[in-house]
Each structure stands twice: as C-alpha cells, then as structure tokens.
Structure 1
C-alpha cells in the first residue's frame, strides 16, 4: 500500500524519561519512575500521524542491537517499518523531569556513526515510498559520519518525485538544506526562533523580525514557514498571508514531542483537499496540545484534537 505520509529519521533515540521529586546538580537522586520509549523526531511525527489515522511509513536507520521498542511502537500504531538496521545500538536520550515542573533536562548520548553507503541505502529505501503530493517529514539531527548536506540530498530526491518535504532540523544541516536551488527546496520548514537566528546570522528579538525572516524564506520558494515561539505561540507564513496561532491555554506536562506533533499536524493539513493557513495553524497547534497533555502515553487523541482546534486563538498579521 502506498503510504499517505512518510517520515525519515537518521538519528533516532530511545527516550528514557526519569521522574524526580527535585533535580539538584551535584546531589544523589532517587528516581520516582523511569520508562523507555521509541523516539527521535521523525519517529514521533510518524506516531502522531498514525494516531490521526494517516497511513504512515517510517524510514531511517535504527541500531540492530536494541530495536525492540521501535518494533513495538510500529506494531502498536500500525506504522509501516521501512527502517534500515545498522550494527550497534540506537542512542539513548535521558530526560530528567521534576514532578510538578514544566521543564525537562535533556542529556542526549552519542548515536550511531553512519557512512555514505548507509545514506545511499536510506535513499534507495525512500525512493519507492515517494509520490506526488505525499508529505515527507525529514526530522532531527544528523548522526556522526554523514555530511551536513545529507538532508539536502534526501530533500532534493523527494522534491524531484513531487513529494512535499517538511524539514525540521537545525544548524549546518538546516543551512545546507535552505541553500539549495529553488526546485530542491523543502515545501515547509519549522524552525524555532534560535534556529532561524542561526540561519540568518542575526538576532531576531521582535515578532516583526521573525516575520521578515519568514517572508524571506517564502520569497525564496518555500511554500510554508512555521516559526515556534514557545509560550507566544507559533508564526505561520505562506505566500497568501501570515498569522500567529496560540493555544487557548497552556498545556500541562513535559514539552517533549510537542514540536514533532506540530510537524505531524502540518503534514496532516497538507492532506486536506483545500489548504487554508488558518485551518493548518489550528490543527497543528491542537496536535501539539494533545501530545503534550497525553503525558507518558505519548499519544494523540483525535477527538480531543478536533475539539481543541476550534479553540485555538488566531491573530491575522498584516
């Protein structure tokens, strides 16, 4: 079956969430609980899309020695597993969460080291999954051993097949992907303020500065630019307009996966016959809220998303 959406994760992780009464550097801690979940930005996007009912294929590279949590996730959510297995272990990302707190302390361990042959293999695995109009989420950091142009290469491959690439990465990988020729650019990007500042090389302290930078990307040929602004919501910009979307209230719980859920909401919006920027902003914001409030379940509630989408606050910008 041809998937309705595809995700690619080159640097996945097993998220080990450790809950503490209080985090005190330099002290011994006794954890209240700990759990492991299959993670990585593209894996999270695939899970949210599957929860929404979208036939989704996940590809990328997993460590062959500890892929059990990923196999379980794919089976439980009905995600088509097209991931390659490489010798070794998928990295672990440790997330320290204080009970009653809103912040998460992340400790990201080193991942697999890949090479050009494995990137070629991912490209070959991706090729039959591509089709005109299919949203393809390229998400996360690049593992050691791959060039900073790796996302740009897969992005160009998907664009040449008529697929619509949603890119969510940072640093040199983002810069390389945005500095390609017009026909190979992503369809959509979702940087946060700091990632956009790194790309422009200048501070963007005001909303007007972020809006100008987003318009510059749209003028270069990117159809949709979404800038995460934390508690201030998200800025959505396309060739026809711009707006800020805010949740009707701050969601409870750890922020882990909220940005990935928003990418999934963007992908889901592209599957609607008539795309509208405000409807996209409502859906993507509701995806993020539902993912946040699911806690350790790390799942989207479609009925909840539909209810909350109507309550998202939309501020049109001139």
Structure 2
C-alpha cells in the first residue's frame, strides 16, 4: 500500500463564498447563498484526494482560534490532521460568485504573521509525517514573516526524507524554489499561464511560447511541468513528451478550487503510477468535475471516470 500523501499549507484560509445573481459594483446586492469552507490550496487538495479514496495528511500552519471548520472537514473526510497550531485566527478569503458572468471575484483578507520558529515547527513535523517515496505537496502563498525561500527549504527537507515533492505556488516563492530545483529536484510544478509568465518575466501569448517555457522548467530539474490554461485545458511536459489535454467545461456552480482539484488529480495519478496520458486525463477530470460542486469536493468516482474518458489529448 502506498504511503499517505502529505499536503503542506502555510497560509490556509476559511473561504466565504457569496453567490450573487450578478455583481454590479457600487450597488446593494442580496446574496443567493453564503458558504464557509475550510480552505487553502493544500487543504482543498487534501479534501479532493480524500473524496477519491487516497489516504492523506494535511499539515502546515493553522490559527488556533478559529480552527473549527478545519477540524470538521478533517473528521468528515478522515483526513489526518498534521497542522501546527499558532496563536490567533486563520485568515478569511471572500469569494463572490457571479452567476450572470460565471466569474468569481476574490478578496483575500490579511492573515496571521509567522516567524522562523513557526517554520521550524513545521520542519520538525515532516520527520513524523513523511514516509520514503511518499508524495508531498507544498501549496499556496506564504504568510507575512516567512522568507520567499521557505518552500525551497521545505522541498530540500522533503527530498532528504525521500519524498516526491509537488509545488503549487507563485511569485517569489515559486522563483526561489525553482532556483533551487537543480540541487533539490521537484517531482512536479503546476503554474497557470499568468504564474508561468511571471516566472519567465515575459508574456507568453501562444501555445509555442508556453511550451518553450514549460520545457525550460523541465530542463531545470522539474520532473513534470503542468501549465493550467483554464477553459483551454492544460499542458503536460515530462521527459521527451508534451501533451495538451482539453475537456469542455460544464456550467460551473463554483470555480473556487478548480485549480486545486487539478493538483489533486495529478497527485492521484502519480500515486497510482499512471503514465503521463492517464495523469493528464485524471487531473483535467478532477478540475472539471469540481466545477459542479460547492467547496473543495469531487462528484462520485463514476462521474470523474466518465469525464476522464472524454478528455481530448494531443501530442505536441
């Protein structure tokens, strides 16, 4: 049996999703619904993996004062709680779902400040939570107080413990981790178009440009590079292979966490030892299937498998 997947989220959030018929700035709105979900990239990934039946541990840093939504999620989905508790509250992220445009507007509130001692506490937990050969995810932004190379530091720790590390972050933390990737190989990174452009320092207007940047990342020590392109699908680059996968999106109930669901699909495919084509199918099916769900949840397995079978793959 494969060891549990570990997800590390240093800056989790409680996602407050407000659904409106149409968002009109400067006017008063009456909300259709409001939902509160334990969130943060790694938490969302852990939730989707648990839905798929993959044993998973969720760790990182969590405010002790409002941890109840996280405790409830972990209990409901049998996710092992590996979080380090800090004094204070986990931040809240407000997400306004506009039914008319099918867009979501995010307002991310400030969160608690962490320090070197907090990161050191997370580093110490890795020795208890990670088994050799396990898949480990480092995901999301960094809280105030932690340096940009925090994920690079954790990736080096995970490599020393024999883990295969997946990275899903952006900006300076992504740049720092990729700079260190030659000495600390990363199993996978999943930037979106904007994040890849930010790393490349230039616009990447067409498919050839995106593919060249992804191959550059692969040459720098990343085993699998996945570039998510929203409704246009995703690029998958590994070894000498480059694949584009596409699947028409369903009408979304919520786009919140679709990218995190894609990461969960990648990890589920890696955990099963699937070839690149099957990893591509499963990750896109996870992302599209999640669009029909509120919160970090997947539909039933039969629905996900049916979506995976419909994914169109093109060799590039």
TM-score by structure 2 length?
A: 0.96
The 1:115–1:23 alpha-carbon spacing in structure 2 relative to 1, beyond 3 Å, is same
Matched, 1:53 2:61: no
Q: Secondary structure at the match of 2:298?
A: coil
Aligned position for 2:286: 287
Q: CA deviation at 1:129?
A: 1.7
Q: CA deviation at 1:296?
A: 4.8
1:264 and 1:300 map into 2 onto residues whose CA distance is: 13
Aligned position for 1:41: 41
Q: CA deviation at 1:2?
A: 8.4
Aligned position for 2:302: 303
The 1:283–1:157 alpha-carbon spacing in structure 2 relative to 1, beyond 3 Å, is same
Deviations, residues 103-147 of structure 1 (Å, cap 9, x unaligned): 001100001100000000011112222222211111100000000
Matched, 1:30 2:30: yes
Q: Secondary structure at the match of 2:165?
A: strand
Q: CA deviation at 1:270?
A: 1.0
1:3/1:57 contact within 8 Å kept: no
The 1:163–1:237 alpha-carbon spacing in structure 2 relative to 1, beyond 3 Å, is same
**Could you list the runs of 5+ residues in structure 2 that have no partner in the other structure?**
none
> Runs of 4+ in structure 1 displaced over 6 angstroms?
none
Aligned position for 1:214: 214
1:19 and 1:215 map into 2 onto residues whose CA distance is: 39
1:228-307 matched pairs, under 5 angstroms: 228-273=228-273, 275-296=274-295, 298-307=297-306
Matched, 1:184 2:184: yes
1:177/1:185 contact within 8 Å kept: no
1:12-161 matched pairs, under 5 angstroms: 12-161=12-161
1:183 and 1:78 map into 2 onto residues whose CA distance is: 35
Aligned position for 2:312: 313
1:300 and 1:260 map into 2 onto residues whose CA distance is: 15
More off after superposition, 42-51 vs 251-260: 251-260
Q: Secondary structure at the match of 2:31?
A: coil
Q: Secondary structure at the match of 1:310?
A: helix
The 1:181–1:16 alpha-carbon spacing in structure 2 relative to 1, beyond 3 Å, is closer
